[in-house]
Amino acid sequence: MKRRPPHRTSWHAYNYSAPRRRPPIAVKPYTILLAAAFAGTVVGIGSSTHFFGREAVAAGNYDGVVTGCHAIDGDTLRCGGERVRLVGIDAPEMPGHCRPGRDCAPGDPYAATASLSGMVRSTMPIQRYGEDKYGRTIAALEGTDGDLSCAQLRDGSAIYKPRWDDSLHVARTCPGVLGR
């Protein structure tokens, strides 16, 4: 019979050994293939070619950078000497700015302006889509909360105007907020 060492208190402590660790599982080549197929399927589903019967146009990457922007109202910014109108949305107008006969967006214009002001960064990427009849650049910009048009819609500070979204930028960039 084995003799117990004097500093041990039981035979269990004397015979105990640490549990053995299992070797790590090797990544099989088909696991990587399955993951790539799943990712491709998810991306493919997210980029449909039709949206409400209209042919979708890819939003494209931002084509430039603007600096020194500040909010004029809930959907317009001034960036240096350029006035920029956010694509696809309409925010409440400041008092006295809604033309007679126009169906202006409901809501608090001061809250919409404050919301937009809070998302403006010193330097922002911009994707220009053209100009409106007032000479403002129609564009998408990315601020602190992502795309500014999407953020204004998400915050309830603007409404979506499909006829102002010819490029389908808003429809493709923020579809989750359009159904609200």
pLDDT tens digits for range 17-50: 666 776 666 666 666 656 666 665 554 544 433 3
| DSSP-derived 3-state class of residue 127 | strand
Architecture of domain 59-178: Beta Barrel (2.40)
**Which tokens in the block code for residue 168?**
């389908």
**C-alpha distances out from residue 124 to 15, 91, 108, 172, Å:** 67, 20, 26, 20
Handedness of CA 112, 143, 42, 170 (dihedral sign): positive
Assign 167 a pLDDT band (cuts: 50, 70, 90). confident
Global pTM reads: 0.62
The pLDDT value recorded for residue 67 is 93
Query: Interior CA angle at 166 toward 63 and 42, to 5°?
Result: 70
The pLDDT value recorded for residue 77 is 95
Mean pLDDT within 6-14: 57
Domain positions in the chain are: 59-178
The pLDDT value recorded for residue 137 is 94
% of residues, the chain, pLDDT over 90: 36
Residues 122 and 67: beta-carbon distance below 8 Å: yes
Mean pLDDT within 1-12: 58
pLDDT tens digits for range 41-77: 554 544 433 334 333 333 446 789 999 999 999 999 9
Residues 67 and 83: beta-carbon distance below 8 Å: no
The pLDDT value recorded for residue 29 is 64
pLDDT tens digits for range 79-122: 999 999 999 998 988 877 777 877 778 888 899 999 999 999 98
Backbone angles phi, psi at 114, to 5 degrees: -65, -40
**Which tokens in the block code for residue 77?**
């910014």
Assign 9 a pLDDT band (cuts: 50, 70, 90). low
